[in-house]
Amino acid sequence: MKSFLATALVLLSGFALLTDAHISFRYPCPRRASYGECPQPGPGEWELVDYDIRSPIGTYGNIVSPMCKHTSSFAGTRPVFAAGETYQATMDIGAYHKGGSCQWTLSYDNGATWVVIQDNLKTCMADASNGVTYKMPFKIPAGAPSGKAILNLMWNNNEGNRELYSSCADVVISGTNGGSLSGVAPLIANYGP
The answer to whether position 150 is within a domain reads yes
The answer to whether position 8 is within a domain reads no
pLDDT of residue 140: 97
User: What is the rounded distance in angstroms from the CA atom of residue 166 to the CA atom of residue 152?
Assistant: 7
The answer to whether position 126 is within a domain reads yes
Closest CA to 22 of 70, 92, 122, 88: 92
CATH number at residue 99: 2.70.50.70
Residues 40 and 114 sit within 8 Å (Cβ to Cβ)? no
> What's the 3-state SS for the chain?
CHHHHHHHHHHHHHHHHHHCCCEEEEECCCCCECCCCCCCCCCCCHHHCECCCCCCCEEECEECCCCCCCCCCCCCCCCEEECCCEEEEEEEECCCCCCEEEEEEEECCCCCCCEEEEEEEEEECCCCCCCCEEEEEEECCCCCECEEEEEEEEEEECCCCCEEEEEEEEEEEECECCCCCCCCCCCCCCCEC
User: What is the rounded distance in angstroms from the CA atom of residue 90 to the CA atom of residue 29?
Assistant: 9
**Residue span of the structural domain in which 106 resides:** 22-174
The answer to whether position 185 is within a domain reads no
The answer to whether position 148 is within a domain reads yes
pLDDT lower than 70: segments of the chain: 1-21, 23, 93-99, 122-123, 125-132, 158-160
Dihedral, CA atoms, 48, 51, 54, 60, nearest 10 degrees?
-70
**Measured CA angle at 66 (ends 102, 168), to 5 deg:** 50
What distance separates the 2 farthest-apart alpha carbons in the chain? 69
The answer to whether position 89 is within a domain reads yes
Query: What is the model's pTM?
Result: 0.81
pLDDT of residue 90: 84
The answer to whether position 181 is within a domain reads no
The answer to whether position 100 is within a domain reads yes
- If one counts the domains in the chain, the total is 1
